[in-house]
Homo-oligomer: A and B are copies of this chain.
């Protein structure tokens, strides 16, 4: 049979990961078989093992790639000298951008990390916790310097993260909402609220 197509650049492994993310997103990790993945790629299942180590390695690659992008971004935001509000805005916008540009991967990282094996699951959760802690620190600082209302900072972080992580079902409303409107109005909503 024909070889796995490698459009433009990127290794075959890259293409496999990409299609895996697509399937893991739409069918879930556990319900996606290597035979299905192979079929999408136009190849027999065992052929995949010329390029990857295992099914779970695919999940690891997806989760850590996404996790590291977010960690990198928050570090850079922490380092700049914007206001707290500005930093929170940048974080919200980054989440939306990531969700739009890397939908499958981000979705999988957010929803399928449960199926990571140790020690990867622990590592991944540590990345998440570290990210959440950064956000918490930011919100607390905002409350301290009076930029932000004195609400419970855990709740604020929870609300923001829930809202941006749940973005996957924006997909269905694509036609109705441009990325700009989504970003702008979500930032307004999560920072300034919606009531007059």
Please report A residues at the B interface, Cβ cutoff 8 Å: 26-31, 85, 111, 114-115, 139, 142, 146-149, 151-152, 154-156, 158-159, 161-167, 169-170, 173, 176-177, 181-182, 185-186, 188-196
Beyond known contacts A28-B29, A158-B169, A192-B195: 19 more, CB 8 A cutoff: A28-B28, A28-B114, A30-B30, A85-B195, A146-B196, A149-B195, A152-B181, A152-B182, A156-B194, A158-B170, A158-B177, A158-B186, A159-B186, A159-B190, A162-B165, A162-B167, A166-B166, A190-B193, A192-B193
Work out how many copies of this chain go into the complex.
2
Interface of A is mostly: helix
- CB contacts (< 8 Å) of A173 on chain B: these are 154, 158
- CB contacts (< 8 Å) of A194 on chain B: these are 139, 142, 148-149, 151, 156, 190-191, 193
Contact of A191 (CB < 8 Å), options: B148, B182, B195: B195
